[in-house]
């Protein structure tokens, strides 16, 4: 005679995981705002300084092509060919925007690491599959699987098929 199993309650992520993911989402928004502000600062710097795209790009983490794309996006006219630009020293606003963006990038990395650790802790303590946890994160199941490997989270079940290599 078959016995009836009682169904498990639906999985709900822990408060720690929710908090870590919410902080990550907020930091991603902040990072994107800083990145856009930096792009605008590059356009303003090009407009105010009269320097070439390449000269301004030397002071950014971007290539000359990216700076040219930013100039096009913000309707900055190209430098007049043949005209010798004045000596160039980046403006304080430009330097401050680059520093703020670099700090935002660093903070985003810290929040991402904290969120990945929270996912690993959730996998370790909740007793649910990677797929169920992945449904509550911004990442795919494959990424959650990679996080589990990275943090050495043991699998839920032991392998049922014995390897011939063992």
For 5-20, what is the mean pLDDT? 89
Q: What is the tens place of the pLDDT at every residue in 132-146? A: 999 999 999 999 999
* Average predicted confidence (pLDDT) for the chain: 91
Long-range contacts from 113-118, C-beta under 8 angstroms, 24+ separation: 114/20, 114/23, 114/24, 115/20, 115/21, 115/23, 115/24, 116/147, 116/150, 116/151, 117/20, 117/151, 118/16, 118/17, 118/19, 118/20, 118/21
In order of 1, 10, 141, the CA distances from 4 in angstroms are 10, 18, 30
Cβ contact 60:98 at 8 Å: yes
CA distances from 22 to 26, 72, 100, 143, 145 (A): 6, 35, 22, 18, 21
Q: In angstroms, what is the C-alpha Rg of the chain?
A: 25
Averaged over 52-79, what is the pLDDT? 93
Q: What average pLDDT score do residues 4-19 get?
A: 88
More confident position, 72 or 50: 72
Give the residue among 112, 118, 124 at the shortest CA–CA distance from 25. 112
| pLDDT for 37 beyond 60 | yes
C-beta of residue 96 within 8 angstroms of C-beta of residue 61: no
pLDDT of residue 87: 84
Q: pTM for this structure?
A: 0.82
Share of the chain above pLDDT 90, in %: 75
Distance of CA 88 to the CA centre of its chain: 32
Instruction: Round to whole Å and give the CA distance between 145 and 20.
Output: 18
Range in 17-21, 61-65, 67-71, 84-88 with the lowest mean pLDDT: 84-88
Is the separation of the CB atoms in 119 and 128 below 8 Å? no
- Sequence-distant (6+) residues with CB within 8 A of 87 are none
């Amino acid at each position: 005679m078959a016995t009836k199993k009682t169904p498990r309650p639906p999985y709900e992520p822990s408060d720690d995981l929710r908090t870590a993911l919410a902080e990550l989402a907020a930091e991603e928004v902040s990072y994107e705002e800083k990145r856009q502000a930096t792009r605008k600062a590059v356009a303003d710097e090009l407009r105010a300084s009269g320097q070439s795209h390449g000269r301004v790009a030397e002071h950014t983490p971007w290539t000359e092509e990216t700076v040219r794309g930013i100039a096009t996006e913000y309707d900055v006219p190209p430098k007049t060919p043949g005209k010798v630009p004045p000596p160039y020293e980046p403006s304080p606003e430009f330097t401050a925007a680059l520093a703020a963006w670099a700090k935002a990038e660093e903070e985003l990395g810290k929040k991402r690491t904290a969120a990945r650790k929270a996912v690993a802790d959730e996998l370790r303590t909740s007793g649910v599959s990677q797929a169920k946890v992945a449904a509550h994160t911004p990442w795919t199941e494959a990424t959650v699987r990679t996080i589990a490997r990275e943090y050495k989270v043991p699998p839920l079940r032991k392998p049922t098929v014995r390897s011939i290599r063992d």
